[in-house]
Structure 1
């Protein structure tokens, strides 16, 4: 009886271990299944993640980002169990990119020193990438801004205002900071045309502090390339804030 009981016990242990291995394997597969193919926009703008699923079910990715002073990152590869392993500066120390599904987005986590191989000095690609809200893909935003200009030129200011208000409301999580600045200026001047001076001032409030400073002071706070792109936004905001000041209409 003892030998029989011992055999049964060993068989049960073997069965439990087998089930653990199967579950672990299934979890690894599930990690890739949870990653949905499609285009994601980096939170705060300035980058994109594209995940594709091949005919064999394997996942591949492409990442492009823009950092400070125009520095960029660019990389691609295959994803296995939620992870990509890529070459780096030093053999035996690969760049490890982890893709963690979070809500409808993907959190990209990296070992910074090795993965800097794919970036300029002031750029990184780690961070949260979000499925863009409908109308918030960069191509869709460009189309909406073109529609705004057409309506503005026709002096259809109410319709023009609605176009930009929707972008600022819906796309706040994925808009690039410079594009946000230009959209605020375009919306503010439209509000001015409609006689909505308070609305104009509210729209420009995030830019008001820099608009009140000198160009030199603003430039000193940014890398050279960023300052060159941002100063025209600040100058436009100065002009529009002056137009929208109380008693100007």
Structure 2
């Protein structure tokens, strides 16, 4: 009988110490560098983006202990920090043949873990919806409302957006500010993009990898046009 109570007490203690399940949803790294998707059964997928569109991809099931990814030397652990999730990556027993977590990444990508934020209004789908809302407002010449729409997006998602998405949002915001007669605000919005705007098409391959150069070219052209609209001088 004593053994029964002791075993029952131990089981209760272990259950009490078990970490709460990770809420299902989509979680985001800063600067659009990755997403963590968790389902209600605790299965997950992590996708991160590195230089020149190289990626890392992990799948598995979250548990209280660090989980081994696909019988590799890569182990991931998940810790709730408020509404956010800290993912820690650890390589164990790495050999010349076993690359650990880097074996799940492209040549120009890596994953050392990071804090994934719970920001449902900043997921790619949510951002795409807001940008379409802005376009509708802008096309019907409701520039004031369009400006406020992007202002809200920037205030809550600026640090989460991938740099290319952020640069396009800034250009859209600048256009709305120009249309409302606020050229000073337009120039201020575009100020972080002046370096990109100064790069010529022939200079791009020397300064950036091919994928990034392809993204930057239309952004540079749009920024130069909008800077001129708002009164900036230069090439």
State the TM-score, normalizing by the size of structure 1: 0.79
The reply on whether 1:85 has 2:71 as its aligned counterpart is no
The residue number in structure 1 matching 2:48 is: 65
The residue number in structure 1 matching 2:148 is: 162
The reply on whether 1:186 has 2:172 as its aligned counterpart is yes
Using the TM superposition, give the Cα deviation of residue 196 of structure 1 relative to its aligned residue in structure 2, in angstroms: 0.6
**C-alpha distance 230-20 of structure 1, shift in aligned 2 (>3 A):** farther
**C-alpha distance 82-154 of structure 1, shift in aligned 2 (>3 A):** farther
Q: Distance in 2 between matches of 1:109 and 1:64?
A: 14
Q: Distance in 1 between matches of 2:205 and 2:228?
A: 21
1:107-122 → structure 2 map (5 Å cutoff): 107-111=86-90, 113-122=99-108
Using the TM superposition, give the Cα deviation of residue 210 of structure 1 relative to its aligned residue in structure 2, in angstroms: 2.3
The residue number in structure 2 matching 1:148 is: 134
The residue number in structure 2 matching 1:213 is: 199
Structure 1 moving runs of 4+ over 6 Å: 19-22
- SS across alignment from 1:111: strand
The residue number in structure 2 matching 1:99 is: 78
Structure 1, unpaired ranges of 5+? 1-14
Whether the 8 Å contact between 1:219 and 1:231 is mirrored in structure 2 is no
1:2-81 → structure 2 map (5 Å cutoff): 26-27=16-17, 29-30=18-19, 33=20, 35-54=22-41, 59-81=42-64
Q: Distance in 1 between matches of 2:102 and 2:144?
A: 47
Whether the 8 Å contact between 2:187 and 2:232 is mirrored in structure 1 is no
Using the TM superposition, give the Cα deviation of residue 246 of structure 1 relative to its aligned residue in structure 2, in angstroms: 6.0
The reply on whether 1:131 has 2:118 as its aligned counterpart is yes
The reply on whether 1:173 has 2:153 as its aligned counterpart is no
- SS across alignment from 1:108: strand
Computing the radius of gyration over CA atoms, which structure comes out larger, 1 or 2?
A: 1
| Residues matched between the structures, number | 220
1:34-66, CA deviations, whole angstroms, 9 ceiling, x for partnerless residues?
Answer: 633221112221321112232xxxx22111122
The reply on whether 1:223 has 2:206 as its aligned counterpart is no
Q: Distance in 2 between matches of 1:223 and 1:164?
A: 30
1:77-127, CA deviations, whole angstroms, 9 ceiling, x for partnerless residues?
Answer: 112215221136xxxx52111212223211222136401111111123422
RMSD value, Cα: 2.6
Whether the 8 Å contact between 2:199 and 2:220 is mirrored in structure 1 is no
State the TM-score, normalizing by the size of structure 2: 0.83
The residue number in structure 2 matching 1:203 is: 189
Q: Distance in 2 between matches of 1:170 and 1:75?
A: 28
Q: Distance in 2 between matches of 1:198 and 1:164?
A: 17
